Chains A and B, each alone.
Chain A
């Protein structure tokens, strides 16, 4: 098996495609971050530690057999919920949001963890159920999902809660949620949109959505971010302005250059060519995940790889759509590129699990 390295009789589980491409992406991220942070070596050093730690973590998490995750999924899920609740109780507050648990050396954004453990748990839960999924099971899983989503939403963290919602729904969908149910619930969702608008969205969140519809209405107010991001991306042109030469990023016109809008910095400095190269790496990873999911050894692995890779895909697309103004600014990092601790590590964890499932082949297939 080419995905197994045999060292001193010990089997090492490994997927060289994913490992190399993710390492490449992480290194590119560090290079971009150096420019986006105005050559702030402290920020880049800290991020390097995370990257190194994340890659190691990914490696170690790919060693256990998928059954380990399956049998312990409830425990992981339980711990995640405890962390979420703890966050609400004793979390660190910043910018009016309570999203972080302070461990002294590291502040953990607990919602980033549950983003991973929820789909794993759901996949394990549905592993031995009769498929297509029954209505009862659908409702049970939906209720679990909605409780978690709501716990995150009230932090408030709209972006992550949406990702968690999606992660649950992906699993349900992949597990064979009936089309009839999907149809009915979609209609119900659309009808209840005004209700959500009025009761679940904070005024600033409503403003962000309104801004998206017409950013020019208030270019110096809420539309500032989108406007400046578009200028940054657009002025990059085909070839970009050159590394560390982006005026939008370096003269502070662009907000949040290290996190949400790091793509705008890349687009400004490396142009359309740079954008395409970066996207190629992302696409490669996603296609690899698709391949692995389709060839997974059992239902649990299939659902988990499918679910986790779709979370990754969604996060990337939400970030990209946000910076070019397709969707409102929701606060979503670009995986492996944006600065960040918990969100960065969560994807290393996710890919660690994916690689574990891809590289452990069941002896008796079919």
Chain B
């Protein structure tokens, strides 16, 4: 028999224990509630995003790349549509039957069939499209169009590929496009706030970015912005429906300052010889002609060429990939003389009345070494004007001899030598403006007075690119005031860096006299480029140069070394016109062309003709 007291204590014990368990569970329950609160309230945003990312899949829509125009509105680079045959796998039951039926209209290669078969079931499950065949011909397209009713799940869609309409004319200036590297894409996506898991490319060759030339430097501008289609997906990744479309923003068209006609002329004139032509609008600094020769087809590079073709180009001795205009280093030779003349006037070493007897050579007083001119017997008693027209070396040897090298290089840098003169050129070289510390650091030799003397005629260590020579010519033409070069017409939004020659002694009169002398190079009977007189019907100022690659004492010696083409002199000319109010300046370099006046000269004149015709 259970007594009352026991029952009461038992009841109390039960009561206590049940409460203990309930309290324990209440604690657990509160912890659960706290966890739920954390999930639903505190971290709500994180989980909302996670849920959104779970159920949506963004598919990128590729923007159209901007068209590139020349300054007259001629299309230079365009996007050409190609037509692809596409099927919708999720609504096709048997791929083999389907391919057989398609094959009766449009021939599919074995590769194409295999690709379709391999990817069919995966794409069907995910409800994605499958490209059966790329680049359909017009014939294939019309054959399909007629029978389209038989294939409700098959369609033709337009995709774009990049085409340069003048593939050989603008190889180096416009450059070419290619598939982006993984890192390029990451950067682009980061820039455009995209986190794509997959994408649909509307270019047949996939997404393209600029690899060289303006395609590279203006890639941001002509690239555009990706659009996206946002699909709802289930856990398996299957597309359920389209939620939203953000339209792509096509790339902006690029209106360049390039001039198609003058470019054609330059290309024809150089005729695959090794060399470069650069012509510039001196008022704006806009590059109108830019050719490095020989060139190569940018379309082939961009759209795929065979290994063999590529090897041939890479191993070509003429190095067609090398951009001579921006990267080729040439001694300016006699073309430097106007700049040296200005140095003499600026520093009161000479004036226009100063005369000198030119016996055909200059003897360095320090060691008696002889520096020869190009004309045996010399030019006689000459002033600065004569020295420029006849290209007297002795005069400028002597002038350079009286110059301080540090002052001289500082002066020459005003003309763009040793500087980057172009704002949007692709990997431009800055040439070389030597000075004593450079020589010590690089050649481990001290500076000789003879080095300064050599600099006076643009020989020796100094080198410049054709683009720098064009800059130099423009600077002279514009009387010491110039914008940095650019390839685009509208210079307004660019940071225009006007380079102004600050001078104490050189006045308008000196500039006019200098122009007169350079006009004389062509017009004066004694001028070194007299042959050009007949090629034009307006006045041009010029200075020719001949770059000695191998130093020779006599004409006979040169005849021996010129047997090997690669040892022949380079031909150089800078020119600007029409005088007296010049509009364009041009520089021409023809490797191993031997004569600046008669080989490079005609090219420069023809380019100016083409530019001034309008």
Contact = CB atoms under 8 A, between A and B. Distances in A.
Interface of A: 131-132, 170, 173-176, 228, 230-238, 247-248, 251-253, 267-268, 271-272, 275, 279, 283, 286, 290, 293-294, 299, 302-303, 306, 310, 313-314, 317, 320-321, 324-326, 366
B18 A248 contact: no
A272 B18 contact: no
Contacts of A271: 40
Contact of A251 (B11, B28, B46, B240): B240
A174 B40 contact: no
A231 B39 CA distance: 8
Contacts of B352: none
B10 A299 contact: yes
7 contacts: A131-B10, A176-B13, A234-B46, A237-B40, A248-B55, A317-B29, A324-B35
A173 B17 contact: yes
B166 to A, nearest CB: 52
A253 B57 CA distance: 14
B235 to A, nearest CB: 4
A294 B18 contact: yes
Contact of A293 (B18, B234, B240): B18
A219 B11 CA distance: 50
A334 B491 CA distance: 72
B235 A253 contact: yes
B599 to A, nearest CB: 70
B294 to A, nearest CB: 55
Interface in B7-56: 7, 10-11, 13-15, 17-18, 21-22, 25, 28-29, 31-33, 35-37, 39-41, 43-44, 46-48, 50-52, 54-55
Given A173-B17, A174-B14, A306-B18, A267 B32 contact: no
Contacts of A290: 18, 22
B50 A234 contact: yes
B146 interface: no
A220 B197 CA distance: 16
A228 B35 CA distance: 15
B441 interface: no
Contacts of A232: 51
Contacts of A235: 44, 47-48, 50-52
A297 to B, nearest CB: 11
A253 B53 CA distance: 12
A251 B233 contact: yes
Interface in B375-414: none
A283 B21 CA distance: 15
Contacts of B232: 247, 251
B306 interface: no
A25 B21 CA distance: 24
B40 to A, nearest CB: 4
B55 to A, nearest CB: 4
A357 to B, nearest CB: 14
Which of B33, B39, B44, B55 has the largest number of chain A CB atoms within 10 A?
A: B39
Contacts of B233: 251
A13 to B, nearest CB: 23
B191 interface: no
Given A247-B232, A248-B55, A251-B240, 9 more contacts: A175-B14, A231-B50, A231-B54, A235-B48, A253-B54, A272-B36, A279-B33, A302-B11, A321-B32
A101 B43 CA distance: 44
A286 B32 CA distance: 16
Nearest to B49: A235
Given A234-B46, A236-B40, A272-B37, A306 B32 contact: no
- 8 closest residue pairs by CB, A with B: A234-B47, A235-B51, A252-B235, A234-B39, A251-B234, A247-B55, A272-B40, A235-B47
A228 B55 CA distance: 12
A245 to B, nearest CB: 11
A262 to B, nearest CB: 15
B307 interface: no
A258 to B, nearest CB: 16
B493 interface: no
B31 A326 contact: yes
A325 B32 CA distance: 9
A323 B422 CA distance: 65
Which of B15, B21, B240 has the largest number of chain A CB atoms within 10 A?
A: B21
Nearest to A252: B235
Which of A228, A253, A267 has the largest number of chain B CB atoms within 10 A?
A: A253
B236 interface: yes
A20 B548 CA distance: 109
Interface string B164-183: 00000000000000000000
B312 interface: no
B4 interface: yes
A191 B21 CA distance: 23
B49 to A, nearest CB: 8
Which of B10, B18, B22 has the largest number of chain A CB atoms within 10 A?
A: B18
Contacts of A233: 36, 39-40, 47
Contacts of A299: 10, 14
Contacts of B41: 237-238, 272
A13 B52 CA distance: 51
A324 B54 contact: no
A317 B18 contact: no
Contacts of B37: 272
Which of B6, B28, B52 has the largest number of chain A CB atoms within 10 A?
A: B28
Interface in B218-271: 232-236, 240
B240 A174 contact: no
Nearest to A276: B33
A320 B48 CA distance: 21
B48 A234 contact: yes
Contacts of B14: 174-176, 299, 302-303, 306
B244 to A, nearest CB: 15
